[in-house]
Chains A and B, each alone.
Chain A
Amino acid sequence: MSNISFSALAAENKILKNQLNQLKYFLTGSLAFKCSVDDVLPGQTIVCQKEDIHNVAAGLLFPVSSCVDIGPGLRPQRMIAANTHLLVEPHRPYAEKIVKGYPDKLTICSDGVTYLRTALDKSVDTIFILDVIEHLEKEQGFTLISEARRVARLQVVVFTPLGFMPQHFSEMGEIWGDIEHNELQNHLSGWLPSEFEQSISVVCEDYHEGVDRRYGAFYSVIYCDQPPAQQRLVLVSEDCPDFIFKSNDLIIADVGFCGNSWLINSIPKHNLLTIPLQIIAESIMEPIEILRSAVINFRIFEQYLEMFSDIVPIGLSARVVLENLKPSTT
């Protein structure tokens, strides 16, 4: 194979890779590709492959109606659809481009910390800090995270290389969106999942292709609502569009609860137990021994009712079951 044909192939391969990346970017966050991982607790890490990391992280997120995207560059986040999506981009050429490219989103030209300092406590559902924090000095990065936690109601989502991955704008290859690289692209710090408290991390150990070796990358989804002193038991038998689950809720859902199952899948849960609440409600006058022998997981359900004092029923069947099986709570 001649040098010319080899170079042409390599160039074509790069174009195809770029196109594939674009496709992956647009597909990220699509409901079809979100991957829900059950039984993950804050403090735990999910280790997965490169092709799965975005979908696994997207599956961990609370549904939201508002989000702030810090330093989106030319690509606003696509992990989650939000009615109100604010882009906070410090590099003016990028900001001008995304104003034109994404007229449905709000864009301001500011750095993240400056913007967040003006924001009110718990005023936005989610804050995304994707491929940003490694461009800041460590102290500045901690400040950004701290401000983000103050402002976010539900979660802060961070994506960054695993450890320090060297990058200098002068060594970067092709330009992005016809805009010259600059110092903002330099990497100034390295991060590890353990540095983000109250979070679940999704790690891929060989995500980036560096000059001399491969580098990992990870998402950390930092949950902002402080767990209550007591864990709640939530019984769900019907739609609950306005109910906000907390990250450590223990959920018992009816087998027929399909319509809003995405609401449950999006939050990490200690345990999701399926109990036929509607059937129990309909058979509530039957002797307890019959319910114990006829209903799957009924004994476990009784144990949980005994263990928890803070129990929230959602739906008529859930209320009926709770009133009859644990009268002292009603």
Chain B
Amino acid sequence: MKNLSIAIVSDVPPDPVYTAGQVLAKIIEGTPAANFSFFWINQSNLSDTKNFPANCRLQKKLNFQLGRVLSKLQHILFKIFEYAPRARALINVLFAALPAIFLGIKLSFELRRSAHHVVWLILQGEKLALTYFILIVFSGKKIILQQWDPVSWWTLHRGYGLRLSTGIQRLVALLERKVALNLVPSSSWCERLRMEGKDCIRIDNFFEDGEVERGIHLRVGSDYEVNAVFLGQFYSNTELNHLLFTLRDEALVMGKVIILHYFGSAINGAPIPGIKVVNHGYLSRAELVKRIAKWDVALLPYPMEDRFDQASKYSFPSKSRVYLAAGLPILAYCKSDSSPHKFYSENYQSFYHNMASSTGLRDFIKLIGDKDLALLKTRQSLSTRLIGEHFSSGVELAPLHQFLGNI
């Protein structure tokens, strides 16, 4: 793998501030023999960062903005078809696709001429799917494709029609077939791809050996509180609210109040009645694991709507790995065929409860309120073992290194 040169194309930089960026940073840092050139397609207008791993440099910053000429053309066409909504919709799609296509062509030429051995594409959203399709066809390079969520997650959130959504999914399925290796976050997704004859490795927010440092064993709280932890995501508020309200009501009957320790961006929307929210902001992962380990329970809401079935089955919540690393009991609200439920109900059942598929929340609240340190040690030793068996660099990064070594 020595002197391997890899081009990364992504809309999220390998900056640990972002969850996805954290994963990229860990993979890059864990592959010191290779040099990485980062092509940043900043479609989300993220702020500038210089926080790259030592063996990665920013090669180019790109975006999907329409040039002046195209913007004007779009404006003129909108005027012409002012009273034709279907035509306008078509124009919208076309002008959304055009920058993606142009970018794909531009990147293809650049990468074709470059000395990179491998191109690593991170796919988040439909525009990138289009760009990458062109890149895969024209770049002439070996390609790795990494996804965190099925593309249907993005298209459904953006309210695309069924036909367009299906078309984009087919495009992504084609990408998966054409690339040399797929990287996905869950075992179920990996299994599905392998059944379709596609090469695949499971990789996400892994832990190095000995990285999970707990500090001293201790619990904090009182008999009248349940200290709950949540690492924030923008799209789980409905399920989070349901989880919180149910927990709050059940705890109230037991004479307890809920204190929610929230790590992430500010909570959008109204305060949650009857729950004290402590907003801790952003912390690094190592600090987070130590900080949250002393509390009672971690909250894991996950998409429940049928339309997000694919995301529920094939994605895997990175935050749950942090919960596991901290040795916290996990209270989930997710479908019984979702990937986190399958994993935790099988491997962590004594300290896991899914509100959607089991009763016995009150018993679970009693369990998590038990401040017995022997129980804490048992739980933490189980979680350390699970991290080592399923989410360590040996399990997730080593296969990727093997693939790169064969190039």
Which A residues contact B (CB, under 8 angstroms)? 35, 37-40, 43-49, 52, 56, 205, 270-271, 273-274, 293-294, 296-297, 299-300, 303
Contacts and interface: CB of A to CB of B under 8 A. Distances in A.
23 contacts: A35-B215, A35-B216, A37-B218, A37-B220, A38-B291, A39-B261, A39-B280, A40-B220, A44-B220, A47-B219, A47-B220, A49-B217, A52-B216, A205-B372, A270-B278, A271-B278, A274-B281, A293-B47, A294-B48, A296-B282, A299-B265, A300-B266, A300-B281
B274 interface: no
Given A39-B261, A39-B291, A47-B371, A297 B281 contact: yes
Contacts of A294: 47-48
Nearest to B262: A300
A15 to B, nearest CB: 28
B225 interface: yes
B218 A56 contact: yes
Contact of B218 (A43, A48, A270, A273): A48
A39 B220 contact: yes
Given A300-B266, A303-B266, A39 B278 contact: yes
Interface in B206-260: 215-222, 225
Nearest to B280: A271
B373 interface: yes
Contacts of A271: 278-280
Q: Interface residues of B: mostly helix, strand, loop or mixed?
A: loop
B17 interface: yes
Contact of A49 (B216, B220, B371): B216
Interface of B: 17, 45-48, 215-222, 225, 261, 265-266, 278-282, 291, 294, 371-373
Contact of A52 (B17, B218, B222, B261): B218
Given A49-B217, A52-B217, A299-B266, 17 more contacts: A39-B220, A39-B278, A40-B220, A45-B220, A45-B222, A47-B218, A47-B220, A49-B216, A49-B218, A270-B278, A271-B279, A294-B47, A296-B17, A296-B282, A299-B265, A300-B265, A300-B279
Query: What are the 5 closest A-B residue pairs judged by CB atoms, nearest first?
Result: A48-B218, A297-B281, A293-B47, A47-B371, A52-B216
Nearest to A35: B216
A47 B373 CA distance: 8
Contact of A48 (B46, B217, B221): B217
Given A38-B291, A43-B222, A294-B47, A48 B278 contact: no
Given A44-B221, A44-B222, A300-B266, A56 B216 contact: yes
B264 to A, nearest CB: 9
Contacts of B45: 293
Contacts of B278: 39, 270-271
A294 B17 CA distance: 12
A38 B316 CA distance: 30
Contacts of B291: 38-39
Contacts of B46: 293
Contacts of A45: 220-222, 371
Among B218, B282, B291, B371, which residue has the most Cβ atoms of chain A within 10 A? B218
A37 B221 contact: no
A297 B45 CA distance: 17
A39 B281 CA distance: 13
A40 B222 CA distance: 10
A274 B371 CA distance: 30
Nearest to A296: B282
A294 B265 CA distance: 13
A136 B267 CA distance: 51
A270 to B, nearest CB: 7
Contacts of B280: 39, 271, 273
Contacts of B282: 296-297
Nearest to A272: B280
A48 B281 contact: no
B153 to A, nearest CB: 24
Contacts of B279: 271, 300, 303
A45 B48 CA distance: 43
A265 to B, nearest CB: 13
Nearest to B292: A39
Contacts of A35: 215-216
Nearest to A51: B216
Nearest to B217: A49
Contacts of B373: 47-49, 205
Contacts of A274: 281
A268 to B, nearest CB: 10
A82 B48 CA distance: 48
B250 to A, nearest CB: 21
Given A45-B220, A46-B218, A48-B217, A273 B281 contact: yes
A294 B15 CA distance: 13
Nearest to A291: B47
A296 B218 contact: no
A56 B217 CA distance: 11
Nearest to A44: B222
